[in-house]
Amino acid sequence: MDVASLRAFLAVADAGSFSQAAERLFLTQPAISKRIASLENELDARLFDRIGRTVSLTEAGRALQPRARTILVEIEDSVRAISNLTGEVHGTLRFATSHHIGLHRLPPALKAFTRQHPEVRLDIRFMDSEAACVAVEHGELELAIVTLPPDPSVNLSLDPVWEDPLGIVVSNEHPLANQRRTGLSSLLEHPAILPATGTYTRQIAERAFSEAGVKLDVILSTNYLETIRMLVSVGMGWSLLPLTMLDGQLKHIRVRELQLQRTLGVVTHRERTLSNAALALQALLHAA
């Protein structure tokens, strides 16, 4: 069974599209189709149903998907283990990070890494922390530099790097802007703009407010903290943001009942071998 064909199969299965799979693998769409056809011929089974522009897995495709993922992960793990024996730091390092960490935390370590290890090709994916953790668990990424999950999967190993205090922030014109400290009841008289439901930061917030016995009035939500900062700065509501994002357009309001914090760090798979490149980057994150 050809490894390239398995990669093409998983790319189409994950993307739900031959064209998107081709873009992801830097191939032409005919090349992807040829690899899928070769795999279907070898297995004597149709792996995808193609109805118009919709591509979906057949029963055979659904049976193959987890097995194909396991095969590729084991091959990559074996290659890394053997490559590590040389002690050299080289090859491709495939990892993910969130937009927030990529902007505010990662640059010093990334700058040092590229200077020290120019022979390493970095394949950086910017994605939500939650999606990145799933990709690590599935073996699609070697590591993720993200907000650490409050309730991680047993398959994941968490390495805390930065503590990231969170605070209630409002615009300079908000009714609460002149109060250095307020109560939870006063805060809840005003609408909130929070990270999207299901994100780790939202989970932290919801858990804290639930423990305080209150329900949030959320008028808007988005995955992007930079967007939330903009919406708060123009007076659309208060939010919960990392204190590192405070600027002249925002004010930090201390709420007596709330002490919130999240942790940022490295997520890896417990049973996977990390490449020398991954270990080097992880060490630089702690040193930066």
Q: Which residues pair with 240 in a beta bridge?
A: 168
CA–CA gap between residue 96 and residue 73 (Å, rounded): 17
CA–CA gap between residue 164 and residue 104 (Å, rounded): 11
pTM: 0.78
106 DSSP assignment? S
Q: What is the mean pLDDT of residues 145-153?
A: 94
Domains located in the chain, CATH noted = 1-69 (1.10.10.10), 164-261 (3.40.190.290)
pLDDT of 172 above 90: yes
pLDDT at position 94:
93
pLDDT at position 26:
87
pLDDT of 146 above 90: yes
Give the least confident one: 147-151, 172-176, 194-198, 208-212. 208-212
Q: What is the mean pLDDT of residues 234-263?
A: 90
Q: What is the mean pLDDT of residues 90-109?
A: 93
pLDDT of 84 above 90: no
pLDDT of 86 above 80: no
Across 74-108, b (16+ Cβ under 10 Å) vs e yields eebbeebeebbeeeebebebbbbbbebbeebbbee
- The answer to whether 181 and 251 are in contact (CB under 8 A) is no
- The answer to whether 32 and 11 are in contact (CB under 8 A) is yes
pLDDT band at 70 (very low <50, low <70, confident <90, very high): confident
pLDDT at position 139:
87
